[in-house]
Amino acid sequence: MKKLLSIYLAAAVFISLLTFTAKAGFTDIPDEETQIYASILEQLGVVNGVGAGRFEPYGKLTRSQFCKMAVCILDEASAAAQYANSSVFTDVRASHWASGYIHYCVKKNMIFGTGDGSFAPDRELTYAEAVTILMRMLGYKDSDFSAPWPNGYISGAASAGLSKGLDLRGGDKITRAQAARLFVNLLITKMTTGDIFASAVFGGLSEAVLITGVSKNTVEAFDGTKITALKTANGLDNAFIGRSCRFITDKNNSILTAIPVEEAYIEKKITVSSAKYTYVLDTDGVKNYIGDKTVMYMYGTLTEYTDVWLDIKPGAPMTIYFDMQGAARLVLMESTSGSDAEAVVLTAVPSTLGRLAVLFGLDPEGNYTLYKNGSRSAAGDLAVNDVVTYNKNSRAFYASDFRISAFYEMAWPNFETPVKMTVFGKEFDLTQSAQIQLASFEKNTKLTVSFTEDMRIASVMSASVLTAKPVALAREVSGDSAKLIFLNGYTLTAPYTNNPQNAQKLEKTLVTVDSNASGKVTLSALTLKAPLTALDTAARKLGTAQLAASCAIYDSIGGNCVTPVSLDDIAFSSVPAADILHAEYDSAGRVTMILLDDVTGNCYTYGRLDYGRINAPTLDGSEIYYPAIGVKTSAAEPMFFQIGAADESIKGKWGGAATGGQKVYSLNILTSANCGRNDFSNGYVIADGKVIPLADNLLVYIKDTDNWEATLTQARTYSDNLTVYFDRAPDDGGCVRVVIAN
């Protein structure tokens, strides 16, 4: 993609991807292409519609109306006024509304009368007449064509590109929509002088960029390496978003409008199922590959995909722009609601999206989409107390049912006029309605707060009226706090009220989160309830229930050692009901969480096993020693975990231990196979006649140098004698966890 002209780059400011209010355009144009052409001419002052926001795209044009458009696109409307008192034609008196425009065109040899002293200003214009006027504006004369009129002008217009996109004969009457296309073609057509018309008339024409967003007076453009925000005179229509365009500028280098060019990118809007280092899996099961240097704007921040892929949540909307070679060049992830967007908390379920639109003051006949918890949804999927926001750029509603009960700790700037609220030590913005609600509560009151999709507090209610105990994965449970990862991806580290010894037993388990004290969470083990139905990974269904786009999937060892996984980590097309311990559902009946029982093997930490003992104090002050297992994965000494029964025979073996709290819940002794450096290919290895996939988090160890940080390439370079260790048979979903260069 070519760069913007230097004048734009010098004035450019990095964008912050806000939600914008863009020009609405004419209300009676059914197709986006005509809407763009009409918008361009409106911004250049060539047309202003027929009143009441209407353009009448299929209405016919008269000779006088076309003359006015021709004069205006030449930016000569003021000059035409001096011809208003002319009276060359019997049917165009000085009092005629178009007298100045008609006589200007005649004076400039763009059009002539009918030959009998009249002009016929109200006669419908033919295609031949329209092409002739525009070609003469480009500098062509009758002598430039060998064919008689109008054939010479019509063929010349086709060669110059003036009539691109139109298939009309000379005598055809043209519509207002067809005239708009002709005039837009004119803007980027070369004149006989060699200049492009727009540059000669208005001042300048930029090279092509991709428009990623518009606002009232700003346009955001991607030039192939970065997005910049550029000033416009009157903004652009939303229909320009996602298109490659050239900017027309005035003599002061202000952008007047944009002209679409041949698409240099393919825009693809997806909903994220899971993110990997090299690709994003969408909810249609398609892997969208993204290079490590792909430009990415994530919630207003310029970055690269590989720097943030771990932070991309399932269910997030994403726009990817691919070049003509299929390479991802730009990834956009914007907040689903702008900071100026007020949230609506549902007190009743709207029957249609049109009724939902009315709640936001929007046109009920508009074309909208709805996402709830990241899944494409219908109005009937909503529930009372869901929080809904609206994004103007994507024309989409985003609903969230995430809420939590907590004590009212602190407000900013004060309790009388709160703008922000502190929940478990973290400060959140309040919507305007939530500010009003919160002002009626006193400090240390137990409340239930509901959040927008982008984690603003939209509703505050007494916990006695509405309670909430969301599910979370407990991680890093220490003596005074726990890290909690909720199903929507939000992560919270907070102190807890539980007994520390009991709380630490909950590490790497699923818990429900409540509060019994200000600023502290209270954790309870999630009561597991098996769904008694199989998981179809290809169809994304648990029994007959569809998986939500943001469905959180965990593997575990009998409900302990819980580890986040994705459908892509499951080697089977179907997981039997016996291997599914628990499921959660939303109000639409979609599955929002699945807990598996040792399906992927990802619950284990793999490395070289070590044997030892750990001591535990007793009530009388003495100590009891327990057998313990450690897993060496680096040059550092391993951490040991208590195990019920083991002996020193496991010491030095390669295997995995599934741990939680201070306990080992399961051991997995790996099986070895031999191979050479050339037996690896495309994520697989052929070892001892077995084709075995390689795990994503592969541990590679070079034995001679005691190198625990080696890469697979380094190990293969070092030796042609390698040993791979896999956790289970390939047919049972096993994969290589450890590679050793001997």
Tens of pLDDT, residue by residue over 267-301, are 888 888 788 888 898 888 888 999 877 888 887 67
194-197, Cβ contacts within 8 angstroms, sequence gap of 24 or more: 197/137, 197/138
pLDDT tens-digit readout, 81-140: 888 888 889 999 988 999 999 999 999 999 999 889 999 999 999 999 999 999 999 999
Specify whether 69 is located in the same domain as 188.
Answer: yes
pLDDT in tens, 352-375: 999 999 998 888 988 888 988 878
Quickly tell me which residue has 């949230």 as its tokens: 343
Tell whether 676 and 663 lie within a shared domain. Answer: no
In a domain, 291, yes or no: yes
Domain co-membership, 179 together with 38 = yes
Query: Per the structure block, which two tokens stand in for 151?
Result: 């054939």
What does the pLDDT read at residue 621?
A: 67
411 with 558, same domain: the answer is no
Edge-to-edge strand order for the sheet containing 265-275? 287-289, 279-282, 265-275, 317-323, 328-333, 295-298, 301-304
235 in any annotated domain = no
Higher pLDDT, 394 or 426: 426
The residue out of 383, 400, 417 marking a domain boundary is 400
What local confidence, expressed as pLDDT, does residue 634 receive?
94
Predicted local confidence at residue 519, as pLDDT: 94
For residues 424 and 378, membership in a common domain is answered with: no
Q: How far apart are CA 73 and CA 4, in angstroms?
A: 24
Report the chain's mean pLDDT, rounded to a whole number.
Answer: 88
pLDDT digits (tens, 9 = 90+) for 298-327: 876 778 888 888 778 777 788 898 888 888
Q: How far apart are CA 653 and CA 221, in angstroms?
A: 57
C-alpha of 305 from chain center: 12
228 belongs to a structural domain: no
In a domain, residue 241? The reply is: no
Digit-coded pLDDT (tens) for 532-549: 999 999 999 999 999 988
- Rounded to whole angstroms, how far apart are CA atoms 18 and 15? 8
Amino acid letter, 592: T
Phi, psi dihedral angles at 225 (to 5 degrees)? -130, -30
Number of domains in the chain: 8
Task: Indicate if the pLDDT at residue 25 is higher than 70.
Answer: no
At 7, is the pLDDT very low, low, confident or very high (cuts 50, 70, 90)? Answer: very low
Closest CA to 668 of 741, 611, 596, 726: 726
Give pLDDT, residue 158. Answer: 95
- pLDDT of 351 > 80? The answer is yes
Which amino acid is it at 259? I
> Do 583 and 629 belong together in one domain?
no
Same domain, 544 and 617: no
With respect to residue 258, please indicate whether it lies within any of the assigned structural domains. Answer: no
What's the pTM?
A: 0.65
Token pair 């073996």 is at which residue? 653
- The answer for residues whose C-beta is within 8 angstroms of residue 404's C-beta and 6 or more apart is 423, 448, 449, 451, 468, 470, 513
* pLDDT tops 90 at residue 631: yes
Question: Does the residue 259 lie in any domain?
Answer: no
Closest listed residue to residue 459, CA positions, set 468, 467, 448: 448
Task: Tell me whether residue 206 is in a domain.
Answer: no
690-729 pLDDT, tens digit per residue, is 999 999 889 999 999 999 999 999 999 999 999 999 999 9
Backbone angles phi, psi at 287, to 5 degrees: -85, 120
Instruction: Tell me what pLDDT residue 619 has.
Output: 64
The yes-or-no verdict on residue 148 having pLDDT over 80 is yes
> Across the chain, which distance is largest between two alpha carbons, in Å?
122
Single residue among 545, 579, 596 that ends a domain in this structure: 596
Q: Are residues 73 and 113 in the same domain?
A: yes
Q: What is the mean pLDDT of residues 403-417?
A: 94
- Distance, CA of 626 to CA of 400 (rounded, Å): 47
Do 147 and 278 belong to one domain?
no
Same structural domain for residues 47 and 162? yes
Q: 3-class SS at 116?
A: coil
Beta strands in 278-432 (DSSP E): 279-282, 287-289, 295-298, 301-304, 317-323, 328-333, 344-345, 369-372, 375-377, 387-391, 396-400, 403-407, 410-412, 420-423, 426-429
Both 513 and 643 in one domain: the answer is: no
Tell me how far the alpha carbon of residue 470 is from its chain's centroid. 26
Highest-scoring range by mean pLDDT, 172-186, 240-254, 358-372, 615-629: 172-186
- Do 48 and 143 lie in one domain? The reply is yes
Binned at pLDDT 50, 70 and 90, residue 19 comes out as very low
pLDDT digits (tens, 9 = 90+) for 654-685: 999 999 888 899 999 999 999 999 999 988 99
Kindly report each contact of residues 81-86 with a partner whose C-beta sits within 8 Å and lies 24 or more positions away, as own/partner: 83/107
pLDDT attached to residue 185 = 94
- In which band, very low, low, confident or very high, does the pLDDT at 338 lie, cut at 50, 70 and 90? very low
- Final residue before a domain boundary, out of 643, 669, 695: 669
The phi-psi region of residue 7 (left if phi > 0; otherwise alpha if psi is between -120 and 50; otherwise beta) is: alpha
Mean pLDDT value across residues 347-356: 94
Asked if residue 5 is part of any domain, the answer here is no
Out of 119-128, 330-339, 495-504, pick the least confident: 330-339
Q: Which domain holds residue 314?
A: 265-333
